[in-house]
Amino acid sequence: MKTSLAFLLDALLGLCVSSMLLQIIIPELTGLSIAPVIIIPTTILWLAIALLRKASIGLLFVSSKNERPLPNNVRAHMGWIAFCTSIVAGWIVTDISPVEFFSSEGLQGAGRIFGALLTPEFDVLPAALDAMVVTIFTALMATIVAVPLSFLLSFPAARNVMTGGAIERTIYVLLRAVLNIMRSMEPIIWAIIFSVWVGIGPFAGMLALVVHTVASLTKQYSEQIEDVDQGPLEAISATGANRLQVLWFAVVPQCVIPFLSFTIYRWDINVRMATIIGFVGGGGIGTLLTQYQGLAKYNEVGTLVILITLVVWTLDVASARVREALR
């Protein structure tokens, strides 16, 4: 089972390396185009070397710490080949071009935009401040709505709470899985979804942030719950308290301060995310910024960038201070 998974990984890696080499690097360097079927034999060759020389790289990923395969020269070479191929292919695909970066035309463009950013047009300031307020409150409301939800969800998402048998175990595993999926979807994706659902604007942005915040906070909260000192739990259980009372009187008091700290940090992160979400229709300063950028009004953009930087920096410092004081 494990070894077949390992060889599947090797086959995938071989496929990637062959594709990069045959479809990106060689055509770019020589101008030749190569039929995609050629990838199949090269992948098989890669897998054969891995198998015959006991140089499986996949095995490194599926084996546990104490059964790691021995160091192996062939594997090291194959690893380097994969690494270097990726860098070369990456260079080609992302159009990295030092020539453009340093060309006089390019430098002129850079000068124009930096110049504009550095001579901000302060006429937009009232509108910008309004939009900033919207962004900050979007983040605040998202955090506030997410906190009670996260609090309630964090208990069934904590392993040391869900100890009552198979059903609880299943709920725990499912909840964790759903939260992980929710968390791995970027808020910007949620913002796109919600801007179609409820229309473009701060409400869509808030909903997007709520989803992401619930997923993140629940994870942090539940990890804190898993980390509490078991002593008070035993003591409260020993008084004959029921489960809810044990959670409320032995677990919660150990968690409030860390929960507060996570929450404040989350709000800080949410202000930044609310800005980004604005780019795709989440309202607030982000939306304003895309509008001016679309009109190529870089002096106004400059004002917005300065404002965003100031607010993010202030919040960053303030939230760090508060969290420090909470310790």
Partner 1 sequence: MPLLSVKNLSHTYPNGYQALHDVSFEVEAGEFLVIIGLSGSGKSTLLRCLNRLVEPTEGTILVNGQDVTHVSDASLRSHRSGIGMIFQHFNLIPRHTVLSNVLYGALGTTSTMSSITGRFTDQQRQRALSALEVVGIRDKVENRADALSGGQQQRVAIARALMQQPQLLLADEPVASLDPATSHSVMDYLERINKDLGTTVICNLHFLSLVRRYATRVIALKGGHLVFNGKPEDISDEWFRTIYGEEAMEVDIR
* Site residues for partner 1 per CB under 8 A: 231-232, 234-242, 244-245, 248-250, 253-254
Query: CB 235 → partner 1: shortest distance, Å?
Result: 4
Query: CB 246 → partner 1: shortest distance, Å?
Result: 8
Distance of alpha carbon 75 from alpha carbon 291, whole angstroms: 52
Query: CB 252 → partner 1: shortest distance, Å?
Result: 10
Structure tokens at 142: 């998202």
Cα 207–chain centre separation: 18
Pick the closer one to partner 1 by CB: 33 or 239: 239
Pick the closer one to partner 1 by CB: 51 or 235: 235
Residue matched to tokens 């090291």: 76
Structure tokens at 45: 């060759």
Distance of alpha carbon 242 from alpha carbon 262, whole angstroms: 28
Distance of alpha carbon 225 from alpha carbon 246, whole angstroms: 12
Distance of alpha carbon 247 from alpha carbon 226, whole angstroms: 12
Cα separations in angstroms, 216 against 134, 269, 297, 323: 23, 11, 36, 18
Pick the closer one to partner 1 by CB: 82 or 260: 260
Query: CB 258 → partner 1: shortest distance, Å?
Result: 12
Query: CB 257 → partner 1: shortest distance, Å?
Result: 8
Pick the closer one to partner 1 by CB: 236 or 276: 236
**DSSP assigned state of 37:** G
Query: CB 253 → partner 1: shortest distance, Å?
Result: 5
Pick the closer one to partner 1 by CB: 233 or 311: 233
Output the CA torsion 309→311→314→318 (10° steps): -140
Query: CB 168 → partner 1: shortest distance, Å?
Result: 16
Pick the closer one to partner 1 by CB: 123 or 234: 234
Query: CB 163 → partner 1: shortest distance, Å?
Result: 11
- CA dihedral sign of residues 159, 160, 166, 171: negative
Is residue 283 left, alpha or beta, with left meaning phi > 0 and alpha meaning psi from -120 to 50? left
Pick the closer one to partner 1 by CB: 109 or 253: 253
Q: How many CB atoms lie within 10 A of CB 279?
A: 15
Structure tokens at 148: 């009670």
Pick the closer one to partner 1 by CB: 9 or 228: 228
Where does residue 273 rank: exposed (0-12), middle (13-18), buried (19+ CB within 10 A)? buried
